[in-house]
């Protein structure tokens, strides 16, 4: 497994990982206004911290495997603060790659707000914000023209 921590980048930047990759939980990734990053993973990607983009920046994760978002990445059920910005693609040769939001460790918290696009062979949306008890919980997606 490859563990990465974003420390800023020379832009544009393309990172390649051959094997499973996990982001550090120590601090959020913030892609600056002039930064452009593409993360290419030949394996699974686990996201353990928020990834945000300052207006004008760009981030994409292209994964030949699953993308799993830790339950710790998120905000309170009533918040509209973005937890993940960018474009996230999970696919593989058998068309079984999964984008998973991770289950809420505390019901009513860890709402996952995504600004951008998520493309995957399959989705597992597990968050429970307890706001609509008779309907499946869903992450909130917002659009951003710059993406």
Q: Please count the structural domains in the chain.
A: 1
Q: Residues near 40 by Cβ (< 8 Å), separated by ≥ 6?
A: 14, 15, 16, 17, 62, 63
User: Cα–Cα distance between 72 and 79 in angstroms, integer?
Assistant: 15
Domain span holding position 106 = 2-142
73 burial class (0-12, 13-18, 19+ CB within 10 angstroms)? buried
Phi, psi (degrees; rounded to nearest 5) at 130: 60, 20
- The pLDDT value recorded for residue 117 is 95
pLDDT tens track for 10-55: 567 888 889 999 988 767 888 988 889 999 999 999 999 999 999 9
Please indicate, yes or no, if residue 110 is contained in any of the structural domains.
yes
Please indicate, yes or no, if residue 147 is contained in any of the structural domains.
no
Please indicate, yes or no, if residue 108 is contained in any of the structural domains.
yes
3-state helix, strand, coil in the chain (%, to 5): 0, 45, 55
Please indicate, yes or no, if residue 71 is contained in any of the structural domains.
yes
Please indicate, yes or no, if residue 21 is contained in any of the structural domains.
yes
Please indicate, yes or no, if residue 72 is contained in any of the structural domains.
yes
- The pLDDT value recorded for residue 136 is 42
Confidence (pTM): 0.81
pLDDT tens track for 83-109: 999 999 999 999 999 999 987 766 656
Please indicate, yes or no, if residue 124 is contained in any of the structural domains.
yes
């Amino acid at each position: 497994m490859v563990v990465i921590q974003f420390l800023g980048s020379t832009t544009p930047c393309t990172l390649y990982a051959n094997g499973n990759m996990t982001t550090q939980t120590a601090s959020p990734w913030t892609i600056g206004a002039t930064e452009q990053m593409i993360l290419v993973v030949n394996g699974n990607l686990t996201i353990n911290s928020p990834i945000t983009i300052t207006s004008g920046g760009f981030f994409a994760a292209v994964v030949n495997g699953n993308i799993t978002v830790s339950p710790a990445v998120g905000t309170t059920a009533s918040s509209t603060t973005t937890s993940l910005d960018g474009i996230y693609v999970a696919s593989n040769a058998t068309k079984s790659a999964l984008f998973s939001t991770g289950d809420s460790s505390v019901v009513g918290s860890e709402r996952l707000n995504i600004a951008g696009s998520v493309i995957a062979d399959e989705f597992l949306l597990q968050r429970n914000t307890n706001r609509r008890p008779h309907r499946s919980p869903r992450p909130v997606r917002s659009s951003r023209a710059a993406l």
